[in-house]
Structure 1
Amino acid sequence: MHQPSPVPSVSPVVYKGSRGGHNVRAVHHPYSQATIRDLCKAHRDYGQDSPYFRGLLRSDLEAAVVIPADLRQLFSCLLDSTELKLWEAAWRQLLREALPSLLADPETAIDENGNALTLEQLMGEGRWTDPTDQASGIPIKALMVIREHAVTAFFGMVPDGPVIPYYKIIQGTKEAFTKFVERLTRAIEVQVAEVAMREGILREMMFANANNLCRNAILSLPLDPPPTIQDMRRVCQLKVPFMQGYDQDTKQRTPRVAAISGTQQEHIRRPLELTEAVHLTTADWTFLSVNTKEQGAWPVQGKELIVIGDSAGQAIIHRYMDDVLVCAPTDDVLSHALDLTINVLIAAGFELQEEKVQRMPPWKYLGLEIGKRTIVPQKLAIKTKVSSLADVHQLCGALNWVKPWLGLTTEDLAPLFNLLKGGEELSSPRALTPEAKKALERIQDAMSSRQAHRFDPELPFKFIILGKLPHLHGMIFQWKDIPKKYRDGKDPLSIIEWVFLSHQRSKRMTRPQELVAELIRKARFRIRELAGCDFVCIHIPIGLRSGQISKSMLEHLLQENEALQFALDSFTGQISIHRPAHKIFNQDVKFVLSLKEVRSRRPLKALTVFTDTSGRSHKSVLTWKDPQTQQWEADVAEVEGSPQVAELAAVVRAFERFPEPFNLVTDSAYVAGVVSRAEQAILQEVSNIALYELLSKLVKLVSHREQPFFVMHTRSHTELPGFIAEGNRKADALAAPAEMAPLPNIFEQAKLSHQLFHQNAPGLVRRFHLTREQAKAVVAACPSCSQHAVPTLHAGVNPRGLRSCEVWQTDVTHFPEFGRQKYIHVSIDTFSGAVFASAHTGEKAGDVIKHLIHAFSFLGIPKELKTDNGPAYKSRELCSFLQQWGVEHKTGIPHSPTGQAMVERTHGTIKRVLHQQQRVLKAETPAVRLARALFTINFLNCSFEGLNPPIIRHFGASSLFSIRERPPVMVRDPESGRTEGPHDLVTWGRGYACVSTPTGPRWIPSKWVKPYVPKGSGSKKVISPQVAEAAWRRKRKQRQHHWAELPFPYCSYPE
């Protein structure tokens, strides 16, 4: 059986040997978040085809033994869902083609269990989805094949947009040859399936589609033997100037400098000694660096191309705006590069001021003075006279810029930062406080005595945590290990840069471990920016008691702190708990990260204390069961403020009362989190004075506590059995008001009733005799009714019965919150508006019959039942049932809900009432919730047109609703369009009216009804038009007055 290599490798898979060295086991670690984040950023910023991203991806994958699960995780972050499916399909096809060769190889034929490899195992699918099984079962050589095919499938995917044939890819006149070859290679990889043919096609297309300069350079190569792709690239790099393309619409062009050596195979940028600087007055140029031997062969093309010959690879030219910095490892190389740079710049037409060419140290560049060994900011004029917020902001900005080089701590600058608070106007007055003046004096001393150093390329970088709480800071430095007797007065410490935390922290309470983690995270990010590497050692001062092993305690610290885990993710260097022997590390108060934690992670066998508060009573309660007497005892106090403040006060009293070990149980997640983070925590400024005092007291009590404690959060008002729920109920009872409140006034009674039943405004007017404005104010103040407004009940617009139990409407609606009983069958009496509803598990004919039997027992038996034409209502079973009960059945127009408007509107009313009452009846059954809603609709709700609820109207308890014939009216026949009448008006509805005709009551739209005015018998005397019009208006006014006295609404119509 194949044995994995015992050599450990970096994550995600590490092979560890046993103590005897005979067995090797694979340990899988997921891909680090930092690696995936860097790859995603490179993919987004530079693109999939960029050499930088390709090199970064291959280096990260080749640095570790990866498994199929790691590859899926990585490429799922780089691709969207559709691209990921295409990549998996291509990967699967490549592995299917490679499987026979793997089975033929003895090293990859079988897995670690002796079974033959399968495609499912190579893909990590089926029973091989577990990463542990993949790491331990698949041979290392097979994992490498899987990785290579995954990368091949990824780079072989067709890019977005139209695909340009590779033979149409032509090098631009100002395009770099390397970039052109990269585009051509990418296109050939995508379009040519045969791998063996790609190199030959690439070699032909490189020559055929190159521009004139590159083609002439390639022709200078000997034809025998034929030039390779590497030969073509090398000759183009040596003989063809690299021209940076620029935008024709842009007025300025960004200069670019490169150093290319004719002797090196590839260009390597490495840290070099900084020695000279050049100052220019014009910024419209682009740099180029080529080999000195080939300098005379290339022309100068105006200002777009400047040829600089140099010993390539040994000098670096850096340009920012109109400043140019020339760096070289030796004086000879520097002098040669500087003279050549000046000559070609002058030849290109630039105005060069000789007095600004700095040849001797210190060199001034970008606000810094660079010496032989040190770097300090240029002389900064500190403005000590400040009068406004803008002045303070400029001063703090300048000081904040020099902090990394002078080591100005946040504690030193805090008095100045505090002047930025208050007043939003830039001209708001400011004056230096005594503390701020002292801080400026310290800053001036630091600027005259402190400095940073230029790094030594032979020494690694290190980082150390310094300062004292709450203002921690760090230092990036280099250390030269030289014995004291051989130092000869030379300082082994080189300060590269200082690292500081933000003055304004994001959290109200921050633990020291989190501050240390934030410093490490910022320092690692900064050193990657400066040098492109990581630290070899990070010094974290940790306090150990005698007998403790530093390695085990450090591992314990990392296991218990998530922030440190993320900060040290992928860190391969050392972690030291000791400081280097230097006075700068020992002159200040030493910060020591304490590993002692008084908070227990597990419950203690000790007293259990419960805390609770009440926002209404302002009571702060802690209660416990005395272990000796087994009786419950309590400590109750009244605390003003929010419930969180009151509960925090209870917790503080608990720590003051019980110095011995105890368990703390609270139903406030906020308080539980605060207590768990309080030990040695640093407080941020809090505007609430009472809260700040309690937090300070809690931090002090917990930090100086010697006995352990355990804190636990529990949910309040649970019906669970056991000691924890019992103790929480005891605390709730003590926090609640102890005495009964006096009976509130009528208005308060109406508010309480509405909180319970959520009846509408007319119902409140009828029950509590409020005014309409008061009732509407109660409903408007209810948060539930503002979301689910219940409109005032109206009679409806459908033809209705003229008395109770004459015409019903029945339908079914769905209410998902009832679960299986989500089908609510609803019946409404069209005369009274009385409603009955029942919840069922279905909407078949059997469910309809069950509902109707209950409705008959509640409201009586109707003469006519109107439904839609659904399957349940058209069934034989329901038809037979209604015939037995003597009920006439009618159905509405198919697919038209307007014929069932009253019951459809009732669906919405029932659902709104159920939602409004949900908070009160959340734990009740559907039957109880529905019964409460029906009670509100039938017995409490009413309308302003008649302050009687539907149930009273239904059973005829009021003479107001007795049917009487009304005055005669004229109606228009909807079918013939002729006016008929007079007919007696029976009732009047919103939009509809009922009139008594010789054929029986008839329902017609109200717009076709108008009062009947009989023609008067009088003389035939001729009346003037003015008199006739005045008489008509007077009669019309009298008729309107007569209609106003009727007990139902009426409508007037223009003549």
Structure 2
Amino acid sequence: MHQSSPVPSVSPVVYKGSRGGHNVRAVHHPFSQATIRDLCKAHRDYGRDSPYFRGLLRSDLEAAVVIPADLRQLLSCLLDSTEFKLWEAAWRQLLREALPSLLTDPETAIDENGNASSWGTKEAFTKFVEWLTREIEVQVAEVAVREGILREMAFANANGLCRNAVLSLPLDPPPTLQDMLRVCQLKVPYMQGTLAWKGSHGSMGVKIDIPDPSVDISTVTIEERPTKKLNWLTDNPVWVEQWPLSKQKLKALEELVEEQLRKGHIVETDSPWNSPVFVIQKPGKDKWCLLQDLRQIKNVIEDMGSLQPGMPSPAMLPENWKLAIIDIKDCFFQIPLHPDDAPRFAFLVPTINREAPRKRYHWRVLPQGMKNSPVICQWYVASLLSPVRAAAGQAIIHHYMDDVLVCAPTDDVLTHALDLTINASIAAGFKPQEEQVQRMPPWKYLGLEIGKRTIVPQKLAIKTKVSSLVDVHQLSGALNWVRPWLGLTTEDLAPLFNLLKGGEELSSPRALTPEAKKALERIQYAMSSRQGHRFDPELPFKFIILGKLPHLHGMIFQWKDIPKKDRDGKDPLSIIEWVFLSHQRSKKMTRPHQAELIRKARFRIRELAGCDFMCIHIPIGLRSGQISKSMLEHLLQENEALQFALDSFTGQISTHWPAHKIFNQDVKFVLSLKEVRSRRPLKALTVFTDASGKSHKSVLTWKDPQTQQWEADVAEVEGSPQVAELAAVIRAFERFPEPFNLVTDSAYVAGVVSRAEQAILQEVSNIALYDLLSKLVKLVSHREQPFFVMHTRSHTELPGFIAEGNRKADALAAPAEMAPLPNIFEQAKLSHQLFHQNAPGLVRRFHLTREQAKAIVAACLSCSQHAVPTLHAGVNPRCEVWQTDITHFHEFGRQKYIHVSIDTFSGALFASAHTGEKAGDVIKHLIHAFSFLGIPKELKTDNGPVYKSRELRSFLQQWGVEHKTGIPHSPTGQAIVERTHGTIKRVLHQQQRVLKAETPAVRLARALFTINFLNCSFEGLNPLIIRHFGVSSLFSIRERPPVMVRDPESRRMKGPHDLVTWGRGYACVSTPTGPRWIPSKWVRPYVPKGSGSK
């Protein structure tokens, strides 16, 4: 650094009067974040060697006082991690090389009188403190703060020996300067390695850490670490207004803010972001806690996920190794926020009656309640401990949030690793609690008590008095947490878990059932008698399945082969962890999960130890003899679940239990070699089941093999068809203990039966169904003879025995008497009440006589008031000419404008309700009409303004439709569509009673359906829509009268032939050679001989 430039300093500097003529304070300002951000941007955009970047860097370095810490901070931002390590090594070497000359140069080494000043390694620590005291008295005007500055600078500039001596003092209350002097005088009589460095314009106290070769850790353990930057979903400021606070809480808030301000955790801000703050009083104390409502901020922060999804297991601490546990106080408040993120965590302090402007602050450290604070805390502390782990050798360091556990094989290694951990934490600004550094057993860690070999939960108070859902939830949560160390099975905890069901209110009442009280007694016994263990590095891991079907659990353990005579009270079993399956199942009834248990245990041991089991114990039971290797291989080949669970397993599979009381005190799990359910059909009796929800009949039927007659068992069961068929299946298992095949047309029942053997049954709200399922599980699980179950589709016309048996069962389950349908006349009356079709429509649909149809219409009050005239067909071909007009129907309100289009050939019409009668409405109507009736060649309207518009003309040209207009409001020019207006309105009035509450669109659609599809005339008995689409086979004419036609070649009458269609001057008849078009004058009605006499 040039001699002419200001000298870097780490503390306030006073230039001596002999140098400057009078005392002048040199104030140092660190690099601003804006400056560093601009340099990083220029470095990224233009490159390190660009003139722009070099010029910007030079101007920033020359424009202010720069100290080594500034250079280090700047270079850590500009360089990547590898480049920074190389630069730092070279930088430190340059400092070491420059140090001797600075100490000996009279221009750089001075004391308070201007003389050369340097402290050797053999001078007393008290002499250094005395010099520092005089310097602070000169430079610090406020007497009240001198003591604190002196204490902080004395500790900060002490070497490792003095610092360790100071750290041996209790941290609460903080040691005074006198305490520090006394302990250093006793343990370290001389202050070693404290140096003074003076530049050309003043002096500076600085400690340069020169690594001691005897220490196995470098200065990287105390280097500054950058913090993580948050990813934001938006850059738009989020402002949530602060709510008012009472005077008491406002006073507490002001005191807490002042405290955080003194500690440097917050700074004043003008950020456009804001989140409200509030205070709560700590229970049982006269202290308050500051909280910030960050719910809206959380919504715009990208979740970082979890770096450490769970706590490390203390079971993986080698037994008999030494432990020490460190608790880091106020961990979040020692971790800085990224400078770009800090202003977004702003808040303000309100005032009463707005008597003064509100003061606003933002956090500089991790705020409580920010969703990514735990992740950043984990990452930050882990980055500090990473070099410590590398230098600690054999020591194991567990870190979870603000708790650090150090484990080592010897006291020396433990002390060394612990010192490295504490020094790294202190150098990073953390404050380890000396009184909370646990060095003697039993060690308390994350709710557990760890001994030299054992692990037990800390004393857990079992709350036997529960009164609400909250009490039960807290009790169940605490017990569920200690399960892996105490072996509390799902069956043990089930009575307590069942109390969680019921009312959703947190205050809903709860009381311990007799079963729950017995469960608590078993739990208390387990807590007093069971324990987990730390693992033995010399022993492999094993796994065993325990419990009684269907409730299974497992144990990860280690076994030391010690003969009983040599044990001397030593337990050969080390329980590493118990393994359980979830209490909540995905289905109401599931098969035993021994394979899933093995998969979960293998996954867990990979998490814990990064290896697989050496042996898995799967006890297998036989009625007689011993299991052979071929039996075991056959089991693995047949059991697909075990094949997946043991995939790539290279260890041993044992079929026996180790000789230990814990494996003998409960009912042993025994895996059966043979399933009672056969995977293939059996050469045995076949039973068919069916049920009906209407008749409530539950049926099973079978064909007697001796008599070859069908037998049946029919019972009435209340409930759904599935419940009734399940009852039939249960009767089948009760009736036939011998092997049989079961055929059911219910996929649900087939699935339930297939997985009923030794199944785990969840509670079902339907009591009757639960009883049936329980009975089925018991029958199948205790069955000795095999059975086969299959599902078949019902109501198939397939041939064969299975379809025949299913039809027999279906017929037996059908109701004895079906509910009779109304007679045809009643059906016609009901249809007319719904649609109000005309008499010809009733004749066509229900095949009534004309008199009957007319009587129904005449009896209808709506139709007598609003009679619909019969529509006769026109003469133009289909879609040749349409007529379009607009009518008003005021009952539709805003949609009173009904646009109507009718085909003049068929009479088929389309109408739509709109809110206006402009060109846009006409175009919308026509598009819907085209999609319903097709596209006409010609459209005829009146010559009103809406139909003469340029927009409509352009639309019709695009669709290729010719447009013609007539005289407005002239009934002669638009007679057909004018009559249709009245028809639509009459049908709407007729159907008003049925559809009064419906929307205009629904009412109009129902009216169109009646006119187009139901109404017709006695002349043709075909509705309008069939005439319109008569060329389609889907809408063929129902009535094809026989006719005689004249052959144009022979001039003779031939026939009779069916008349396909009839038009103006033409006709089409169906002949043996196909349809034939002939002039209509050659067609004569066919009259059978003798019909005229009747």
1:371, distance to aligned residue in structure 2 (A): 0.8
SS of the residue aligned with 2:134? helix
Residues 527 and 534 in structure 1, CA contact (< 8 A), matched pair in contact too: yes
Larger radius of gyration: 2
| Aligned residue number for residue 227 of structure 1 | 175
| CA shift in 2, pair 1:531/1:220, >3 Å | closer
* Equivalent-residue separation in structure 2 for 1:725 and 1:200 (angstroms): 96
* Equivalent-residue separation in structure 2 for 1:733 and 1:188 (angstroms): 106
1:684, distance to aligned residue in structure 2 (A): 1.4
Residues 276 and 325 in structure 1, CA contact (< 8 A), matched pair in contact too: no
| CA shift in 2, pair 1:392/1:884, >3 Å | closer
* Equivalent-residue separation in structure 1 for 2:658 and 2:1006 (angstroms): 77
SS of the residue aligned with 1:558? helix
* Equivalent-residue separation in structure 1 for 2:410 and 2:683 (angstroms): 72
**Percent identity of the aligned residues?**
90
1:643, distance to aligned residue in structure 2 (A): 1.3
| CA shift in 2, pair 1:206/1:497, >3 Å | same
| CA shift in 2, pair 1:276/1:913, >3 Å | farther
| CA shift in 2, pair 1:328/1:104, >3 Å | closer
Residues 676 and 786 in structure 2, CA contact (< 8 A), matched pair in contact too: yes
Computed over aligned residues only, the root mean square deviation of the Cα atoms, in angstroms, reads 24.9
* Equivalent-residue separation in structure 2 for 1:98 and 1:179 (angstroms): 25
Residues 173 and 211 in structure 1, CA contact (< 8 A), matched pair in contact too: no
Q: Does 1:888 align with 2:962?
A: yes
What are the Cα deviations for residues 347-380 of structure 1, in whole angstroms up to 9, with x where unaligned? 6665444322222211112221111111111122
What are the Cα deviations for residues 465-499 of structure 1, in whole angstroms up to 9, with x where unaligned? 11123332111100112222332321111001111
What are the Cα deviations for residues 693-712 of structure 1, in whole angstroms up to 9, with x where unaligned? 22122222222323322211
What are the Cα deviations for residues 492-551 of structure 1, in whole angstroms up to 9, with x where unaligned? 11001111122222222222255xx22112211211111111111111122123356443
Per mean C-alpha deviation after superposition, the further-off stretch among 217-226 and 418-427 is 217-226
Residues 904 and 976 in structure 2, CA contact (< 8 A), matched pair in contact too: yes
What are the Cα deviations for residues 960-985 of structure 1, in whole angstroms up to 9, with x where unaligned? 99999999999999999999999999
Q: Does 1:834 align with 2:903?
A: no
Aligned residues: 942
* Equivalent-residue separation in structure 1 for 2:625 and 2:567 (angstroms): 35
Residues 1012 and 1024 in structure 2, CA contact (< 8 A), matched pair in contact too: yes
| CA shift in 2, pair 1:531/1:586, >3 Å | same
* Equivalent-residue separation in structure 2 for 1:448 and 1:462 (angstroms): 25
| CA shift in 2, pair 1:873/1:636, >3 Å | farther
What are the Cα deviations for residues 632-658 of structure 1, in whole angstroms up to 9, with x where unaligned? 222222222111111112212222222
Per mean C-alpha deviation after superposition, the further-off stretch among 575-584 and 974-983 is 974-983
Per mean C-alpha deviation after superposition, the further-off stretch among 533-542 and 578-587 is 533-542
1:50, distance to aligned residue in structure 2 (A): 32
What are the Cα deviations for residues 251-285 of structure 1, in whole angstroms up to 9, with x where unaligned? 9999999999999999999999959999999999x
Find 1:266's aligned residue among 309, 314, 318: 309
1:572, distance to aligned residue in structure 2 (A): 1.9
* Equivalent-residue separation in structure 1 for 2:302 and 2:32 (angstroms): 35
* Equivalent-residue separation in structure 2 for 1:831 and 1:869 (angstroms): 22
What are the Cα deviations for residues 366-423 of structure 1, in whole angstroms up to 9, with x where unaligned? 2211111111111222222222111111111111111111112222222221211111
Residues 613 and 732 in structure 1, CA contact (< 8 A), matched pair in contact too: yes
| CA shift in 2, pair 1:890/1:973, >3 Å | farther
Q: Normalising by structure 2, what TM-score?
A: 0.47
| CA shift in 2, pair 1:270/1:846, >3 Å | closer
* Equivalent-residue separation in structure 2 for 1:924 and 1:513 (angstroms): 55
1:563, distance to aligned residue in structure 2 (A): 3.0
1:317, distance to aligned residue in structure 2 (A): 2.8
| CA shift in 2, pair 1:331/1:675, >3 Å | same
1:848, distance to aligned residue in structure 2 (A): 32
1:457, distance to aligned residue in structure 2 (A): 0.9
1:244, distance to aligned residue in structure 2 (A): 30
What are the Cα deviations for residues 586-633 of structure 1, in whole angstroms up to 9, with x where unaligned? 111112122232222222222222122223322222222222222222
| CA shift in 2, pair 1:464/1:85, >3 Å | farther
SS of the residue aligned with 1:326? strand
Residues 316 and 328 in structure 1, CA contact (< 8 A), matched pair in contact too: yes
| Aligned residue number for residue 139 of structure 2 | 191
Residues 968 and 984 in structure 1, CA contact (< 8 A), matched pair in contact too: yes
| CA shift in 2, pair 1:832/1:436, >3 Å | same
| Aligned residue number for residue 287 of structure 2 | none
| CA shift in 2, pair 1:314/1:395, >3 Å | same
| Aligned residue number for residue 883 of structure 2 | 809
Q: Does 1:818 align with 2:892?
A: yes
| CA shift in 2, pair 1:282/1:109, >3 Å | closer
* Equivalent-residue separation in structure 2 for 1:981 and 1:718 (angstroms): 43
Residues 259 and 313 in structure 1, CA contact (< 8 A), matched pair in contact too: no
1:97, distance to aligned residue in structure 2 (A): 55
* Equivalent-residue separation in structure 1 for 2:784 and 2:698 (angstroms): 26
1:727, distance to aligned residue in structure 2 (A): 1.6
Residues 312 and 398 in structure 2, CA contact (< 8 A), matched pair in contact too: no
| Aligned residue number for residue 373 of structure 1 | 453
1:744, distance to aligned residue in structure 2 (A): 2.7
SS of the residue aligned with 2:593? helix
SS of the residue aligned with 1:482? coil
1:840, distance to aligned residue in structure 2 (A): 38
Q: Normalising by structure 1, what TM-score?
A: 0.48
* Equivalent-residue separation in structure 1 for 2:112 and 2:949 (angstroms): 68
Per mean C-alpha deviation after superposition, the further-off stretch among 61-70 and 632-641 is 61-70
* Equivalent-residue separation in structure 2 for 1:887 and 1:88 (angstroms): 85
| CA shift in 2, pair 1:322/1:62, >3 Å | same
Gap regions ≥5 residues in structure 1: 116-171, 285-290, 297-301, 800-804, 1019-1054
SS of the residue aligned with 1:995? strand
| CA shift in 2, pair 1:282/1:381, >3 Å | closer
Residues 466 and 474 in structure 1, CA contact (< 8 A), matched pair in contact too: yes
SS of the residue aligned with 2:315? coil
Higher relative contact order (CA 8 A, sep 6+): 2
SS of the residue aligned with 1:610? strand
Residues 844 and 1021 in structure 2, CA contact (< 8 A), matched pair in contact too: yes
* Equivalent-residue separation in structure 1 for 2:686 and 2:166 (angstroms): 86
What are the Cα deviations for residues 997-1016 of structure 1, in whole angstroms up to 9, with x where unaligned? 99999999999999999999
| CA shift in 2, pair 1:585/1:922, >3 Å | farther
| Aligned residue number for residue 538 of structure 1 | 616
| CA shift in 2, pair 1:894/1:533, >3 Å | farther
* Equivalent-residue separation in structure 2 for 1:672 and 1:113 (angstroms): 101
Residues 16 and 22 in structure 2, CA contact (< 8 A), matched pair in contact too: no
| CA shift in 2, pair 1:60/1:352, >3 Å | closer
SS of the residue aligned with 1:283? strand
1:672, distance to aligned residue in structure 2 (A): 1.2
SS of the residue aligned with 1:672? helix
What are the Cα deviations for residues 780-799 of structure 1, in whole angstroms up to 9, with x where unaligned? 99999999999999999999
* Equivalent-residue separation in structure 1 for 2:1044 and 2:982 (angstroms): 36
Per mean C-alpha deviation after superposition, the further-off stretch among 906-915 and 359-368 is 906-915
| CA shift in 2, pair 1:432/1:554, >3 Å | same
| CA shift in 2, pair 1:55/1:6, >3 Å | closer
Residues 513 and 564 in structure 1, CA contact (< 8 A), matched pair in contact too: no
What are the Cα deviations for residues 828-853 of structure 1, in whole angstroms up to 9, with x where unaligned? 97444479999999999999999999
Per mean C-alpha deviation after superposition, the further-off stretch among 834-843 and 934-943 is 834-843
* Equivalent-residue separation in structure 2 for 1:568 and 1:212 (angstroms): 54
Residues 259 and 314 in structure 1, CA contact (< 8 A), matched pair in contact too: no
| CA shift in 2, pair 1:223/1:19, >3 Å | closer
1:455, distance to aligned residue in structure 2 (A): 0.2
Residues 688 and 806 in structure 2, CA contact (< 8 A), matched pair in contact too: yes
* Equivalent-residue separation in structure 2 for 1:582 and 1:764 (angstroms): 88
Per mean C-alpha deviation after superposition, the further-off stretch among 704-713 and 644-653 is 704-713
Residues 744 and 790 in structure 2, CA contact (< 8 A), matched pair in contact too: yes
| CA shift in 2, pair 1:546/1:99, >3 Å | farther
Find 2:808's aligned residue among 730, 734, 747: 730
| CA shift in 2, pair 1:967/1:456, >3 Å | closer
| CA shift in 2, pair 1:890/1:447, >3 Å | same
Gap regions ≥5 residues in structure 2: 194-269, 277-298, 328-363, 370-381
